[in-house]
Amino acid sequence: MKKFCLLMTVTLFAYVVFSQSIIQRDPEIEGMVKEISPDSLKSYINRLVSFGTRSTLSSATDKKKGIGAAREWVVQKFNEFAKNSRGRMIAYVDTTTLQPDRRRIDSVTNLGNAMAILKGTDQSDDRIYIISGHLDSRVTDVLNRKGDAPGANDDGSGTAAVIECARIMCRHNFSATIIFVAVSGEEQGLLGSTYLANQAKSKKLEY
């Protein structure tokens, strides 16, 4: 019995060592990971916080405060990075109009997802990968559109990660298409991501 247990232990150890020894890391992916800048991530989060609130119900037209200013800034960053994509990346705000639901939306609301689409290099490859975070933030009262809601972590950090991915990845070639998106309406009930999914399903995405 002891010999059997020893044999099983040795066999398991050999399997683990062998499994670990055959791991091959993609050098291009490793290079992209090393390009991530903590300073850039911090600057993105600070800028997102500076909009005061990013409530989906906040102003879509104010140039300095609210969801509209925030999503335009994200697209501005995407367009800045797109200059390094050799014409393969486009960015825009994809909008739709929400009607009041008497629960989390109390007025007609302009919903907008900040999008960047990095076209794949292989025209026969119809795969699409989505890297997303939610742009909106709110205070306890989901209908409060004016109270400060900095949302540095929820989900400024996620949006910052999306922006940084776009900055790095747009300089590389991928056979499939990649969509970077900061969705709105998450706090109102996943409305921005639902809208994105429906757009993808109906093939109405601009790419």
pLDDT digits (tens, 9 = 90+) for 92-110: 999 999 999 989 999 999 9
- Number of domains into which the chain is organized: 1
pLDDT at 201 (0 to 100): 86
* Domain presence at residue 207: no
Answer yes or no: is pLDDT of 118 > 90: yes
Q: Return the DSSP state at 110.
A: E
Does the residue 106 lie in any domain?
Answer: yes
How do strand 128-134 and strand 177-183 relate by DSSP bridges? parallel
Confidence of residue 206 (pLDDT cuts 50, 70, 90): low
The reply to whether 18 falls in a domain is no
Residue 195: inside a domain: yes
Domain that holds residue 49: 29-201
Q: In this structure, is residue 5 part of a structural domain?
A: no
What CATH number did the domain enclosing 124 receive? 3.40.630.10
Q: Kindly state whether residue 7 falls inside one of the protein's structural domains.
A: no
Terminal alpha carbon distance of the chain: 64
Residue 1 forms part of a structural domain: no
User: Residue 119 domain-assigned?
Assistant: yes
Q: How far apart are CA 75 and CA 52, in angstroms?
A: 18
Q: d(Cα 56, Cα 78) in Å, to the nearest integer?
A: 21
- Rounded average pLDDT over 136-148: 96
What are the tens digits of pLDDT across the range 169-181?
A: 999 999 999 999 9
Rounded-to-integer distance, Cα 110 and Cα 145, Å = 13
